[in-house]
Structure 1
Amino acid sequence: MTSDDLVLTPKGVRFQGRLWPCTIGKGGTSQSKREGDGATPRGMHQIVGMLYRPDRLAQPRPWARPIGPLDLWSDDPNDQHYNTQVRAPYLPSHEKLRRSDPLYDLVILTDWNWPNAVAGRGSAIFIHQYRRPGFPTEGCIAFSRRNLHAIAAQIRIGTRLIVA
């Protein structure tokens, strides 16, 4: 491990010599992540991308891609595009990336069950803004807006996320 790894601990994420308070999935952490279990998957993951709302904030990194009004994320294990970004109109089950709340104004993408997704193993394991301190996610790791933006400014493609 290096100081440039994001390391989940019981007290938050350790990154660059600092502890960053966060929330995780309502199902805790899991070695056997399944779609809909609310767990944050254990393991060593990598940062593979970043999405942002260009109508709400400036591009946070040169490699960040804008979230458009039709952007979705497939969460249907029976869909051939399971655990990938798709566009509306889209019939299989999906999650809207352009939300009315600020939770997905900035989304850091991990390589959990990607790029070759195994059906039912879990989708949309992101790093994003939390609703409020202590409020769990559906499996993602979430930070305050301020801390999320500070972390996003320091990470790169390939930064490791370690969930023990």
Structure 2
Amino acid sequence: MTPVDLVLTRRGLRFRGRYWPCTIGRGGVSARKREGDGATPVGEHRIVGMLYRPDRLAPPTDWAVPILPGDLWSDDPAHEDYNMMVRAPYAHSHERLRRADPLYDLVILTDWNWPYAVRGRGSAIFLHQQRRKGFPTEGCVAFSRKDLWQIAQGITYGSRLIVPETLASA
């Protein structure tokens, strides 16, 4: 299957001839993404992986990887594992991938600042489930559970999330 791009627009995410409602970072879109700014970065971000909660969902694709107890994401810019998936116990700053809420039941990974992270440039940009409609993220792109599932089934490894510079705040 040929990779199909996902393009962020002011109307939502354009994908496979349709606009999908989504929310982005509380800091809007930025061409100068920095750790903690809450912005969604401008650029062409390749889809490099997919994670899912096997206790809550079936795998949406044959290349999705289960999120296991103890799976974490390092967001500590001072540590060598910055912006990488790590395992508990992990003494440095991190985010739990296996959460009590459904936010990360399905996570599509992009190559933003990965695999060779530049410290302070911001950790992972995921496509994940919304907390609630219209609620901003910390820089990720979020969708309803149903829409995220459909998007996950329609992408391929190597599809791109395109965030045009024309969306960047002045």
Same fold (TM over 0.5): yes
1:60 to partner: Cα distance:
1.1
Amino acid at match of 2:89: P
Shift of 1:5: 1.0
Equivalent in the alignment of 1:94: 94
Counterparts of residues 2-151 of structure 1 (less than 5 Å): 4-151=4-151
CA distance in 1, matches of 2:3, 2:57: 28
Kept in 2, the 8 Å contact 1:3–1:15? The answer is no
1:104 Cα offset (Å): 0.2
- Offset at 1:3? 9.3
Which SS does the other structure have where 1:47 is aligned? strand
Structure 2 residue identity aligned to 1:76? D
Instruction: State the distance in 2 between where 1:3 and 1:30 align.
Output: 25
Counterparts of 2:18 and 2:63, CA distance in 1: 25
> What is the RMSD of the two structures over their aligned residues, measured on CA atoms?
1.2
Aligned 8 A contact 1:3 1:17 in 2: no
- Once the two structures are TM-superposed, the CA of residue 89 in structure 1 deviates from its matched residue by 0.3
Question: Alignment identity in percent?
Answer: 72
- Residue type of the alignment partner of 2:150: A
Partner of 1:109: helix, strand, or coil? strand
**1 CA distance for matches of 2:62 and 2:4?**
19
1:96, CA displacement in angstroms? 0.2
Paired amino acid for 2:116: N
Question: 1: distance between equivalents of 2:106 and 2:63?
Answer: 13
Distance 1:158 1:3 in 2: 6
Q: Structure 1, unaligned stretches of length 5 or more?
A: none
Unpaired runs of at least 5, structure 2: 165-170
Paired letter, 1:158: G
CA positional deviation for 1:65: 0.5
For normalisation by structure 1, the TM-score amounts to 0.97
Question: Deviation above 2 Å: which 4+ runs of structure 1?
Answer: none
- 1:150 counterpart SS class: helix
Question: What is aligned with 2:152?
Answer: 152
Q: What SS does the corresponding residue of 2:50 show, helix, strand or coil? A: strand
Shift of 1:135: 0.4
How many residue pairs are counted as aligned between the two chains? 163
How much does 1:112 deviate? 0.1
Cα distance in structure 1, aligned partners of 2:122 and 2:73: 12
